[in-house]
Structure 1
Amino acid sequence: MVPINFLVELGIISVVLMATRFAGLGRKLAATTLILLALAAFSPLNNLLLYPLEARFPAWDPSRGAPDGIIVLGGSVDTDLSAAHHTPVVLHAADRFFAPAELARRYPNARVVFTGGTSNLISTDAKEADYSAPILENLGIPKERLILERDSRNTWENAIFTKKLVAPKPGERWLLVTSAFHMPRSMGIFRKAGFDVEAYPVDWRTGGPDDVLSFTNNGADGLERTNVAVREWIGLVAYRLMGRTSELLPGPAKD
């Protein structure tokens, strides 16, 4: 459950209680909900939750040489809206497209894989890979160079299906492109799946450590970042409990 949904539900409960003999409890709950909403929207809470995730993996070091492959995780394209309008609709994390396009130009021999089907619980023919491929092609990656994995529904399946699709050989170097806040969980999952990849974080939502305690002047932006952070922390805990990662907060491999 993301914070905004939880707070809305608390607000509804408080209103209902105020119409009963528990009106006093309802007023207290309403005040608490308002305080929590303000904290989630304007306080440094979202930065405090996001920064440890985004700072976990440093920027990729190109001095180690050219990669053999580039893996791009889905999550930017809304498949339902894309299907409704018959064109790719990118809602967020556009850096997940820009970065691999630049990498593909820099390393013309590297294979490029986009992995992403649909996260909808109800089966649908709309696959994120199908709508993402034209974007990558328009950014300069030839169609024949793209490898599409279109059946995965989550990050665990991204790792499992992509490994099976590309069959990485020992000694090959593969980059994993995803949002910085999502990188710890993604790296832990790929490691658990036996696919050794190197982190290439993009799509940062926070600045440096000096910004961690800064307040947000846009409540909608603050709520969105709080939602993203809480959802990712819940994902880390859930995947650790399910045994899909070996650490709660995966970090860079030790040399």
Structure 2
Amino acid sequence: MRKYLLEVGVPTEKIILEDQSRNTFENFMFSKEKILADWEKSGHTGQPQILFATSNYHVMRASLYSKRIGFSAQGIGAPTSLYFLPTALIREYIGILSYYRLITFLLLVVEAFLAYFLAF
């Protein structure tokens, strides 16, 4: 993503890398620490304006995670190879169902309940 940001004109000094996370939520948690430390070190007050880079298919779910940790962030999506897109979209669909797991579970229970009782 760093390479992509440089290609689209983002200055090197504006890019903060995070390389310890294992998933998107951890990435935002670790990035939040780095961003706030850099923000305070620069003498700024208030909330920083954040632009994050990810794959174009992943921007929506990443935005959900940024809101969950309390950041108002905008996402920029890097292009994805067409051969990878079907797999990536299925993965994102499952990821969003997981993000909303309680609602998903309740909908599945209601659907099973209705299917069982409407069958009679």
The TM-score normalised by the length of structure 2 is: 0.66
Match of 1:230 in 2: 90
- Report percent identity of matched pairs: 22
After superposition, the CA RMSD in angstroms is 2.4
Matches within 5 A, 1:98-247: 98-102=3-7, 103-105=9-11, 110-115=13-18, 150-167=19-36, 169-205=45-81, 221=83, 224-241=84-101
Contiguous gaps of at least 5 residues in structure 2: 40-44, 104-120
* Structure 2: distance between partners of 1:185 and 1:232: 7
Q: Which protein shows a greater Rg?
A: 1
1:178–1:203 CA contact under 8 A, matched in 2: no
SS in 2 for 1:201: strand
How far off is 1:190 after superposition? 0.7
CA deviations 1:190-211 (Å, max 9, x no partner) are 11111221121111456xxxxx
CA deviations 1:53-73 (Å, max 9, x no partner) are xxxxxxxxxxxxxxxxxxxxx
How far off is 1:225 after superposition? 2.7
* Structure 1: distance between partners of 2:2 and 2:79: 10
Letter in 2 for 1:237: L
Structure 1 or 2: more helix by fraction: 2
How far off is 1:174 after superposition? 1.4
* Structure 2: distance between partners of 1:104 and 1:228: 26
Change (3 A) 1:242 1:97: farther
SS in 2 for 1:152: coil
* Structure 2: distance between partners of 1:197 and 1:163: 11
Matches within 5 A, 1:18-57: none
Letter in 2 for 1:179: S
* Structure 2: distance between partners of 1:242 and 1:193: 19
2:16–2:34 CA contact under 8 A, matched in 1: no
* Structure 1: distance between partners of 2:91 and 2:51: 24
2:66–2:72 CA contact under 8 A, matched in 1: yes
Aligned residues: 95
* Structure 2: distance between partners of 1:160 and 1:195: 10
Contiguous gaps of at least 5 residues in structure 1: 1-95, 116-149, 207-220, 244-255
